Structure 1
Amino acid sequence: MKKFSIKKIGLLLIALYVGFTFINQQIIMFRQHKDIDNYTSELQAAQEKNQKLQDEIKLSQDSRYIEKLAREKLGLIKEGESPVIDSK
């Protein structure tokens, strides 16, 4: 039976520690890259929503758009017009 020297046991422990640390760091990096991808997707969706809302703000300042909404949502008509009721 071979004897294990203290040097060999020490080197084995150091190698195990380095291997464990390396694997642990790879797992952490993988999770961080996954998180970055998720946050990038969320940021892009938020930017698109923000742009859509900015466009709505610009539209809401247009008197023709306001009139269109008043006609569609509230059923308002101009003086002298007769309302048309949709049977749907």
Structure 2
Amino acid sequence: MKKRLTLKNLIIILLFAVFIFSYIRQEITMNRIRKDIETSQQKLEELKDKNSELEVKLRKAESENEYLEKLARERLGMVKDGEKVVNSQKQN
């Protein structure tokens, strides 16, 4: 005996097909989003590393500038704009 496809069975099959299609589409979208998040996290880590390196270089440059400024003041007698030079010489 052959069963005929009734309207009820056809609707159930169509609903099931729509559900499967929607599920597959959602999984594809979720996988793409996961990959995007992973890529963004990798870029973030790279940028954090680069930022740390730049901060170290900045601190080093600042300390070198302070050292050079100190040498210029002590050895060459240089002063900053707006500073007044006060000489205090001890008399013997």
Q: TM-score, normalised by structure 1?
A: 0.69
- Tell me, which stretches of 5 or more residues in structure 1 are unaligned? 68-88
What is the number of equivalent residue pairs in this alignment?
67
The residue correspondences of 1:8-87 to structure 2 (distance < 5 A) are 8-63=9-64
Q: 1:66 to 1:33 in 2, by over 3 A?
A: farther
What's the C-alpha RMSD, in Å, of the aligned pairs?
Answer: 2.0
Cα drift, residue 63 of structure 1: 2.7
Distance 2:40 2:33 in 1: 10
Q: 1:13 to 1:62 in 2, by over 3 A?
A: same
Distance 1:24 1:53 in 2: 43
Cα drift, residue 12 of structure 1: 0.4
Question: What amino acid is aligned across from residue 27 of structure 2 in structure 1?
Answer: Q
Q: TM-score, normalised by structure 2?
A: 0.66
